[in-house]
Chain A
Amino acid sequence: MKIGVFVCHCGSNIEGTVDTAAVAAAAREFPGVAFATDTMYTCSEPGQEEIVNAIKEHQLDGVVVASCTPRMHEQTFRRTVERAGLNRYLFEMANIREHVSWIGKDREANTNKATELVRMAASKLLHNRPLLSKQFDINKRVLIIGGGVAGIQAALDCAEGGLEVILVEKTTTIGGKMAKLDKTFPTVDCSCCILGPRMVDVAQHPNITLYAYSEIEEVSGYVGNFEVKVKKKATYVDWDKCTGCGICMTKCPSKKATDFFNEGIGKTTAINIPFPQAIPKKAKIDANFCMKLQKGKCGICAKVCPSGCIDFTQQDEFVTEKVGAIVAATGFDLFDWTVYGEYGGGRYPDVITSLQYERMLSASGPTGGHIKRPSDGKEPKNVVFIQCVGSRDKSVGRPYCTGFCCMYTAKQAILTKDHLPEAQTYVFYMDIRATGKNYDEFTRRAMEEYNAKYIRGRVSMIYPKGDSLLVRGADTLMGTQVEVDADLVVLAVGADSSAGAAGLAEKLRISYDSYGFYMEGHPKLKPVETNTAGVYLAGCCQGPKDIPSSVAQGSAAASKVLGLFSKDKLASDPQVSVVDIKRCIGCGKCIKTCPFGAIKEIDFRGMKKAEVIETVCQGCGICTSTCPQGAAQLQHFTDNQILSEVNALCQF
């Protein structure tokens, strides 16, 4: 083999701490290396041209690029060598940026390490073989998990693009957090008025199948051909018949059920439709509060329902859907703020969350849009907002900024004044982060037009004082202690990953960070992709963000899916396992260990043998390390290839 080695300066990113010319010089002595040079920016157009020209000029049949991580540019350079007529797998990369130049400043040690990484890559390359991919059919249907504003946007865009969409929502209605909001910053337009019509579009779109009150049970398969088992949880109401008339709710005698939609402000009936604009507008029985399901007595709803849809024996149901791509849009949940003992830890009824306050402000909420103290139903005069509760606070393990709380607090201060012109609002803040279009102007309006008193500092304690609360904190700008009498305290609680996010990630085989937010393919260049082909992200499941950004990601994910489906066939990754039939003894161990059922037993002239189903194999190589005969070999990561890397390091 004639190998060409290209050592990248990456401007000064690599050259700054690695002598790339010395690496190239050393590489010329390695077995198989016929040409080696250092280049300024290998990934640039002239850089890639240099590779193409060198391949032609020196009749190279293998290329090593020593530059950044292969997770960044392996695809780029594979295409480059392909343009010069080489098979794309006759290429290797040495990661001398992320793993060398960026993690140490010792030029001598770095140069030596970079040289060794190039030697490893070149010795592996000597064992590389050309690999060819196969074409396979794709199922042009998409599954969207989570019906918040991000999922709705992705569903509508995909459906408009002509795709069949399956939308799975965990609760009984789509809409997510946005459906609970009263107004939205920075325009103060009514949340349900802008979201409602889009929710109706979802219900009416001929291409969208909605499974509400459902969850993902199991995911198998791979890009283009996923198989997903959906659990439709029992609602005890036949949704095919339910018209959403709501008569059952007016007659249900169990009126103490938890009102999840209203964030526990007020109670609701055991049989319940969460809000008037719910999609689908269908009733569900909360089994924990239903007297019939708990004690066998009652059954009034069944008697009054004009469509006869109550079914107390209903069970969870499972459906299987075949799709080619998946978008996760499972949003966020509020941080459990009760860990803050200084805010009462949940003991004071008049300390509420921002989302509870939204429900209180909403005309369709439990108080009909009147601001009332939960303790005595009185209108508050002094309303205190505390920002960064469970955000930017290492002591509770949440060092990140939620990003939208500054803005919705300003919104809530404005709305408070709209509802109660006599009220005075106070906002305790750390910094104001208002970086969006028209955002800073909006927070200014809260201060200047709506007279919100912004106090820069943390609250150290909330005490009960008579029938109100005393909020004590610091004013770090004035350098003083402040005490404010509060009738109502609203906590701007930060965003956590949604409940069950990690479990879903494991089913989808995508990664998540230590807080449970899903990892994008690349922090800058692949914001809605994941490292699992065919699985995309949208909205707050990737990290907290406001509505405009969530919607943008919903559309971005949809465009990725439409792009993927614009082809009729996908090319399979040829880095799959192959069983050498001569060595295989038919023990069947690989068949048992393969997590994807990608190996089947075949009969070869009366002998039992194993055979890999190329399109099902995911290329993990578990079979290769299982096979006692070395018969199953993962292409591009064979025993010989890996051991040649070991040898390149150890035998010198």
Chain B
Amino acid sequence: MPVLKGKELRIVGFLCNWCSYGGADTAGVGRFNQPTDLRIIRVPCSGRIDPLFIMKTLLNGADGVLVSGCHPRDCHYAEGNFYARRRLEVLHRFLPILGIEPGRFEYTWVSASEGQRWQQVVTRFTEQIHKLGPAPKIAGPAASETLRQMEAAL
């Protein structure tokens, strides 16, 4: 599905089921308007998010990736978000080495009650991605081969 021409960019969110997905629901129930670019993938815990998911998402053409979990110490699975924080922090520092602007990836914590905060996070991140513009795409006849090689390298 092509992104809406001129209107949207491709932004993918990975949200934990217990806090942030609930926070996004709370924002919906409260009718807190948000930009429409974001597509949310639900995972049980931010600790389930493999940094490779984010890499694959970015390499496959996403313009931005947003990860959100429970606030530190508030994890439904006790310590999943601590694992997530360590992994995602490393990933964040690693992005420039792969030629990806670090501003295209962000992680944050939003609880199930923070509907308004979710609205602010989405709005801000979407604006940030629009400022960066569409990510350079791996294109041309050798694109799929390049992608395969890059993924293999990861």
Task: Give the residues from 28 to 67 in chain B that come closer than 8 angstroms, CB to CB, to chain A.
Answer: 28-29, 31-36, 39-45, 47-50, 53, 56-57, 60-62
- Closest Cβ of chain B to A621, distance in Å, is 3
* Contact partners of B17 in chain A: CB under 8 A: 71
Contact B32 A103 (CB under 8 A): yes
Minimal Cβ-Cβ distance residue in B for A511: B112
Q: How far is the CA of A634 from the CA of B45 in the complex (A)?
A: 11
Residue A98, interface by CB 8 Å: yes
Q: How far is the CA of A652 from the CA of B10 in the complex (A)?
A: 10
* Contact partners of B75 in chain A: CB under 8 A: 509
- Closest Cβ of chain A to B139, distance in Å, is 13
Residue A304, interface by CB 8 Å: no
Q: How far is the CA of A297 from the CA of B146 in the complex (A)?
A: 82
Select A621's contact among B1, B27, B35, B43, beta carbons within 8 Å: B43
* Contact partners of A506 in chain B: CB under 8 A: 73-74
Residue B152, interface by CB 8 Å: no
Task: Give the residues from 600 to 651 in chain A that come closer than 8 angstroms, CB to CB, to chain B.
Answer: 618-622, 624-626, 634, 637, 639, 642-643, 645-647, 649-651
Q: How far is the CA of A624 from the CA of B42 in the complex (A)?
A: 15
* Contact partners of B76 in chain A: CB under 8 A: 509, 511, 531-532, 620
Select B33's contact among A103, A511, A637, beta carbons within 8 Å: A103
Contact B34 A620 (CB under 8 A): no
Asked, given contacts A71-B21, A95-B40, A649-B62, whether A104 binds B45 with beta carbons under 8 Å apart, the answer is: no
Asked, given contacts A593-B83, A646-B41, whether A106 binds B36 with beta carbons under 8 Å apart, the answer is: yes
Contact A595 B60 (CB under 8 A): no
Asked, given contacts A595-B77, A642-B53, A646-B12, whether A620 binds B48 with beta carbons under 8 Å apart, the answer is: yes
- Closest Cβ of chain A to B27, distance in Å, is 6
Contact A624 B60 (CB under 8 A): no
Q: How far is the CA of A499 from the CA of B150 in the complex (A)?
A: 52
Contact A639 B39 (CB under 8 A): no
Contact A621 B44 (CB under 8 A): yes
Q: How large is the interface on B (under 10, 10 to 19, 20 to 34, 35 or more residues)?
A: 35 or more
Residue B18, interface by CB 8 Å: yes
* Contact partners of B4 in chain A: CB under 8 A: 108-109, 112
Contact A622 B45 (CB under 8 A): yes
Residue B24, interface by CB 8 Å: yes
Minimal Cβ-Cβ distance residue in B for A104: B36
Contact A109 B7 (CB under 8 A): yes
Contact B39 A120 (CB under 8 A): yes
Q: How far is the CA of A651 from the CA of B56 in the complex (A)?
A: 11
Contact A110 B79 (CB under 8 A): no
Q: How far is the CA of A646 from the CA of B40 in the complex (A)?
A: 10
Asked, given contacts A621-B43, A646-B12, whether A637 binds B48 with beta carbons under 8 Å apart, the answer is: yes
Q: How far is the CA of A531 from the CA of B2 in the complex (A)?
A: 37
Minimal Cβ-Cβ distance residue in A for B73: A506
Q: How far is the CA of A117 from the CA of B13 in the complex (A)?
A: 12
Residue B87, interface by CB 8 Å: yes
Minimal Cβ-Cβ distance residue in B for A642: B53
Residue A505, interface by CB 8 Å: yes
Select A103's contact among B19, B28, B41, B73, beta carbons within 8 Å: B28
Asked, given contacts A102-B29, A104-B33, whether A625 binds B57 with beta carbons under 8 Å apart, the answer is: no
Residue A97, interface by CB 8 Å: yes
- Closest Cβ of chain A to B44, distance in Å, is 5
Asked, given contacts A595-B78, A649-B10, A650-B12, whether A511 binds B19 with beta carbons under 8 Å apart, the answer is: yes
Contact A651 B77 (CB under 8 A): no
Contact B1 A625 (CB under 8 A): no
* Contact partners of B119 in chain A: CB under 8 A: 103
* Contact partners of B114 in chain A: CB under 8 A: 514
Task: Give the residues from 111 to 132 in chain B that come closer than 8 angstroms, CB to CB, to chain A.
Answer: 111-114, 119
Minimal Cβ-Cβ distance residue in B for A575: B44
Residue A166, interface by CB 8 Å: no
Contact B79 A619 (CB under 8 A): no
Asked, given contacts A595-B80, A642-B43, whether A513 binds B28 with beta carbons under 8 Å apart, the answer is: no
Q: How far is the CA of A652 from the CA of B73 in the complex (A)?
A: 38
Residue A69, interface by CB 8 Å: yes
Contact B24 A98 (CB under 8 A): yes
Residue B8, interface by CB 8 Å: yes
Contact B45 A620 (CB under 8 A): yes
* Contact partners of B28 in chain A: CB under 8 A: 69, 97-99, 102-103
Contact A117 B87 (CB under 8 A): no
Instruction: Please name 7 further chain A to chain B contacts, defined as beta carbons within 8 Å, in addition to the given A98-B29, A511-B22, A621-B44, sorted by A numbering.
Output: A71-B17, A99-B40, A102-B31, A116-B39, A505-B74, A513-B113, A595-B78
A-B CB contact pairs (8 Å), 18 listed: A97-B28, A103-B36, A108-B4, A110-B36, A115-B1, A119-B1, A511-B18, A511-B74, A619-B44, A620-B47, A622-B80, A646-B12, A646-B60, A649-B12, A649-B62, A650-B62, A651-B60, A651-B61
